[in-house]
Amino acid sequence: MVRGVLATGQREMTLTLEQTARSSAFNLALGYLTALFNHTPELIRQGQDIPIYLGSLIPAMKSAARFF
């Protein structure tokens, strides 16, 4: 059940990006990544977008967690 809720939340993030993006890099090339992190922050769910962005997203999330 929890896995399904997390998958639905991640898909909703992807749909929101696709519906509101004004850049063709988002809509045509799928130039983004959606992911969910826990409080640690550890990656708990990654979208099926371009995974190369994950290399910069994890350090960014850790930095944001330290700040807040």
Residue 56 lies in domain: 2-67
Kindly write down the DSSP assignment for every residue of 9-58, as one continuous string. Answer: HHHHHHHHHHHH---HHHHTT-----EEE-SS--EEEE-SS-GGGHHHHH
Residue in this structure with the two tokens 């330290």, named with its chain if needed? 66
pLDDT band of residue 67 (cuts 50, 70, 90) is very high
pLDDT of residue 31: 75
Instruction: Give the length of the chain.
Output: 68
Amino acid identity, position 45: R
pLDDT of residue 22: 82
- Residue with the bigger pLDDT between 23 and 56: it is 56
pLDDT of residue 21: 81
Model-level pTM greater than 0.85?
A: no
Between vectors from CA 23 to CA 4 and to CA 58, what angle results, nearest 5°?
50
Query: Into how many domains does the chain fold?
Result: 1
